[in-house]
Structure 1
Amino acid sequence: MNKHRAERPGNPLLNASLVMAVGTIFSRLTGFVKTALVAVALGVSINADVFTVANTVPNTMYILVAGGVFNVVLVPQLVRAMKHDSDGGDAYANRVVTLGLLVLLVATVVLVVVTPFLARLLFDPSLFTAEFSAERDSAYALMRYCMPQVFFYGAFVLCGQILNARGRFGPMMWAPITNNLVSGLVLLSYIAVYGSSEPDASGGFSNSAELLLGLGSTLGIAVQAAVLIPYLRKAGFRYRMRFDFRGVGLGHTIKLGVWTLLFVIVNQITYIVVNRLATASSTEASSEGTQAAGATVYQIAFLISQVPHGIITVSVFTATIPLLSSLAADREYVRMRGELVGAMRMVLVAIVPIAVAVACTGQLLATAMTSYGGLTGSTHVIGKTIIAFTPAMVLFSLQYMTLRGFYADEDTRTPFTIQIWLALTNIVAAVVLTSFARTDQVAMYLAVSYGLAYFVGFLIASTKLSNRIGAIFTPPMLGFLLRLALASAVSGVVILGCVRLGDEVGVSGDSARAAFVLLGFSGAVGAVAYVIAARLLRLREVTGLLRAIRGRG
């Protein structure tokens, strides 16, 4: 029996992916509800952007400090340690956790101290004028209260990656639900105490509101990390602090992590530029009394665009990466390419039609999901931004999947060089496009820039990976993509027809209730049309996916 196949009996890729996908669906849904509650409570202008940035920056700083290494280097290294170390990799994992927690603790303390400097990096300079002194003070306070999330994000990923390396994929996908529930309760408490803000709310927050929002958000991340601890024990892992870091192979891990760190730095430079452009929209709109479409609008649309990626792509490739790493370690590149391409096809048959459907119904989606509280009157800017993000739904996943091939082969340098081109494209496109935009168009053009960047990144990444493991886009793969495009186009035409039919019978989608009805109807009919077209075009992956969903995979 082939040793790699023995590691995944039956049909584990679909089965493990579906287990994770179910958890991710609930996680993403509750995560979106949490994000919507932020906007319902705070609106979409300067106050909302202050909290959105303050609550986002800890994740950004965690990724900068350690996230890239934890996410893309650790699993291949843990898998290798489990295969080759006499103790099944336990000592190596304990050293990694100890070192990781120490780095995270020191980084968190430093980041709290340098909060004012970080604020000047992340917010547009207009926030630091006398006109926005109250908003600036709230930004400082909220960032300090939220910054301990850096430690808890890191602890969560360390625990989750150890579980993933041991084939326990579900807990890491389900755990974020607890964070979303805690954060949702915090936001509901804020609404109960302070009420919903106006869409153009400004003036910062009171001290008690800052405490509730900041510490409540941090509590959610802490709970998310804590729920993984019992699962580690069930997986047979017992954590013991170990400080004997020398001569045990951690140097190799750190060397791989250097390029990942550089990758992350380039990515965060892009984040800073985009964030400053987005917050400039909010401060300008506040001064001029116009409609804002800044960081909060961008974040809402971005999260919606990432739902298919998180549910489908991440689930499939979290289950796939241990096998890819094992094949790469044995230099079985032909089989590695086959597994990678097979996983890509499985992802694309789900992601592409979803992206087409969202492009056809983005405005309905915005109306259905954001016509509440402080979001009232802002659905049109959110809808345009959602539609602008739809190309990136596919392109981001393609880039993500391609880079997993390099990481499985312990190559972190190539992704860094690719990221430079991607970041340059994103920055240049964002600066150029937003320079001509009204305040209510900024988020939309930032979304367009994001898609352009990942188009360039994917072209470069797929070319380089093909040179290493063999052509990815062979004639059979190109034929598959053509048939997939045709089936998705059929679905899109049907969805647009349903939306037009709704207009004809008086269900225009102008209200949340009507939009929900029209979304459900057009989505269901469009899905049926896609499945029929896929069968006629012999897209076997669609049939396989449906069988797995019905429990026959």
Structure 2
Amino acid sequence: LFSYFISVTDEISLETISDSQIALLGLGSTVGIALQALILIPTLKKSGLKLSFRRDWRGVGLDKAMRLASWAFIFVLVSQIGFLITVNLATRAAVLAQEQGIDYGVGYTPYANAYLVMLLPHSIVTISIVTALLPGLSKLAFDKKLSEVRDQLSKALRLTAILTIPASLFFFFFAEEIASAIFFGISEQSAEYIGRVLAAMSLGLIPLSINLVLIRGLNAFENTKYQVISNLVINLVALTISIWAFLNLDVVDITVGLGVALAISYWVGIVCTYYLLRRYSGPLNITSLLLFHSKVALIALVSCLAISSLLSRLDLEGNLFSLLIVLLSTFALYLAIGRVLKVSEISQVLKVLLRR
């Protein structure tokens, strides 16, 4: 539907797009999600699972499901309210920028674009790991094997760190190069601004992934109430900093401030989520995890600094090919240092990704 939309639409902008065209784009997203669900049906059949409708709803656990779903609904509601306020602050920043004669992208659009770029490694790495983790983790929690639950959570946190930490630092050091290469159809100033926002929120990628692993731990214990508390804390911190940024920063810095707010909120959030999870799982070996994450961060930092220093001496154009060279060089150096220091989790993560 998106391809059809492009083929039948002439030049379009925020001022000229019609309600029917917006509805068409929305329909395309909805149909795509529905197809994703339908594609799973053949997989379910091959697995041997048989699904059938039941008219008798008694004794199937609907009371428990409704209780869990109610808290899940509140979780989504909190997220959407936080999102709505962030969008309004970013949009008002764009309006103020236009009033001051700033003609490059300031506002929600650079925030959304930077956020989508930041989510890419999170979606590929962290989602893959926690998806594989949850079924076994739930069984261990049901059997009250808390020591094994903690071991699995620690393993997941280590595996996610292997790629999310270097990705976070890569975004921080090369944000403007990334934005210029990906968003090549816009002005140079607008692309650089997206890069600034990406750099601001990039260090939030690490706690974002950690928080998801911890949230899946709460899922294993069937506790959605604590997830709401954690999400509420994250959103309150983000909104407090965002409102302060809107009221105190220059117009061109407001959206960057929103990116910083996102990052800080998740750093606070993982502390909250961990202490809530600890009531069920018991304490993780925080010292060991901190040492491991610090080791990975140091390797990633050295790799990014080395390539960044080299890049400053070269005159590479800001295109996809140049970005690919920088990415591969940084990743290769990171892998090499990791192997020398015998970080075995690097090989494990690569195997997970290659299987996908």
Conserved in 2, the CA contact under 8 Å of 1:399 and 1:461?
yes
Conserved in 1, the CA contact under 8 Å of 2:180 and 2:188?
no
Moved more, 396-405 or 288-297: 288-297
1:392 equivalent among 193, 199, 204: 204
Structure 2 CA distance for aligned equivalents of residues 321 and 550 of structure 1: 20
Sort the Cα spacing of 1:413 and 1:205 in 2 relative to 1 into closer, same or farther, 3 A. Answer: same
Report 1:36-51 matches (<5 A). Answer: none
1:466 equivalent among 253, 272, 278: 278
Are 2:187 and 1:369 aligned?
Answer: no
CA shift, 1:416, in A, is 1.6
CA shift, 1:365, in A, is 0.4
Report 1:7-156 matches (<5 A). Answer: none
Structure 2 CA distance for aligned equivalents of residues 295 and 214 of structure 1: 19
Per-residue CA distance 1:193-247 (angstroms, 9 max, x = gap): 313x5xxx54242466445434444443343343333333334445444343333
Structure 1 CA distance for aligned equivalents of residues 236 and 95 of structure 2: 26
Structure 1 CA distance for aligned equivalents of residues 225 and 354 of structure 2: 41
Q: Which residue of 2 aligns with 1:56?
A: none
Q: Which residue of 2 aligns with 1:251?
A: 63
Conserved in 2, the CA contact under 8 Å of 1:494 and 1:525?
no
1:477 equivalent among 281, 289, 305: 289
Q: Which residue of 2 aligns with 1:430?
A: 242
Structure 1 CA distance for aligned equivalents of residues 112 and 55 of structure 2: 40
Residue type matched to 1:340 in 2?
L
Q: Which residue of 2 aligns with 1:96?
A: none
Q: Which residue of 2 aligns with 1:450?
A: 262
Residue type matched to 2:130 in 1?
F
CA shift, 1:313, in A, is 0.4
Are 2:150 and 1:337 aligned?
Answer: yes
Conserved in 1, the CA contact under 8 Å of 2:238 and 2:262?
yes
Structure 2 CA distance for aligned equivalents of residues 334 and 473 of structure 1: 11
CA shift, 1:413, in A, is 1.6
Q: Which residue of 1 aligns with 2:138?
A: 325
Per-residue CA distance 1:67-110 (angstroms, 9 max, x = gap): xxxxxxxxxxxxxxxxxxxxxxxxxxxxxxxxxxxxxxxxxxxx
- Root-mean-square deviation (Å): 2.4
1:526 equivalent among 330, 347, 354: 330
What's the secondary structure of 2:71's corresponding residue? helix
Structure 1 CA distance for aligned equivalents of residues 89 and 19 of structure 2: 28
Q: Which runs of 5+ in 1 are unaligned?
A: 1-181
Structure 2 CA distance for aligned equivalents of residues 216 and 246 of structure 1: 38
Identity %: 27
In the superposition, the TM-score normalised over structure 1's length comes to 0.59
Residue type matched to 2:71 in 1?
W
Q: Which residue of 2 aligns with 1:188?
A: 6
Are 2:306 and 1:494 aligned?
Answer: yes
Moved more, 254-263 or 408-417: 254-263
What's the secondary structure of 2:79's corresponding residue? helix
Structure 2 CA distance for aligned equivalents of residues 213 and 224 of structure 1: 17
What's the secondary structure of 2:203's corresponding residue? helix
Structure 2 CA distance for aligned equivalents of residues 246 and 258 of structure 1: 19
Are 2:221 and 1:383 aligned?
Answer: no
Sort the Cα spacing of 1:239 and 1:233 in 2 relative to 1 into closer, same or farther, 3 A. Answer: same
Structure 2 CA distance for aligned equivalents of residues 289 and 221 of structure 1: 40
CA shift, 1:395, in A, is 1.1
Sort the Cα spacing of 1:468 and 1:549 in 2 relative to 1 into closer, same or farther, 3 A. Answer: closer
Conserved in 2, the CA contact under 8 Å of 1:325 and 1:409?
yes
Conserved in 1, the CA contact under 8 Å of 2:217 and 2:277?
yes
Report 1:165-184 matches (<5 A). Answer: 182-183=1-2
Sort the Cα spacing of 1:395 and 1:207 in 2 relative to 1 into closer, same or farther, 3 A. Answer: closer
Count the aligned residue pairs: 354
Q: Which residue of 2 aligns with 1:205?
A: 17
Conserved in 2, the CA contact under 8 Å of 1:370 and 1:376?
no
Structure 2 CA distance for aligned equivalents of residues 428 and 449 of structure 1: 8
1:406 equivalent among 203, 210, 218: 218
Sort the Cα spacing of 1:187 and 1:434 in 2 relative to 1 into closer, same or farther, 3 A. Answer: farther
Structure 1 CA distance for aligned equivalents of residues 19 and 86 of structure 2: 29
1:309 equivalent among 122, 128, 135: 122
CA shift, 1:357, in A, is 1.2
Structure 1 CA distance for aligned equivalents of residues 56 and 257 of structure 2: 50
What's the secondary structure of 1:227's corresponding residue? helix
Structure 2 CA distance for aligned equivalents of residues 309 and 383 of structure 1: 18
Per-residue CA distance 1:282-319 (angstroms, 9 max, x = gap): 33445554234222221111111011111000001101
CA shift, 1:485, in A, is 2.0
Per-residue CA distance 1:254-307 (angstroms, 9 max, x = gap): 112222222222222211111111222333445554234222221111111011
Structure 2 CA distance for aligned equivalents of residues 304 and 398 of structure 1: 18
Conserved in 2, the CA contact under 8 Å of 1:186 and 1:217?
no
Per-residue CA distance 1:43-70 (angstroms, 9 max, x = gap): xxxxxxxxxxxxxxxxxxxxxxxxxxxx
Moved over 6 A (4+): none
Are 2:172 and 1:359 aligned?
Answer: yes
Sort the Cα spacing of 1:455 and 1:240 in 2 relative to 1 into closer, same or farther, 3 A. Answer: same
Conserved in 1, the CA contact under 8 Å of 2:165 and 2:206?
yes
Moved more, 295-304 or 284-293: 284-293
Residue type matched to 1:188 in 2?
I
Structure 2 CA distance for aligned equivalents of residues 549 and 309 of structure 1: 12
Conserved in 2, the CA contact under 8 Å of 1:384 and 1:444?
yes
Conserved in 1, the CA contact under 8 Å of 2:221 and 2:280?
no
Sort the Cα spacing of 1:370 and 1:247 in 2 relative to 1 into closer, same or farther, 3 A. Answer: same
Residue type matched to 1:500 in 2?
S
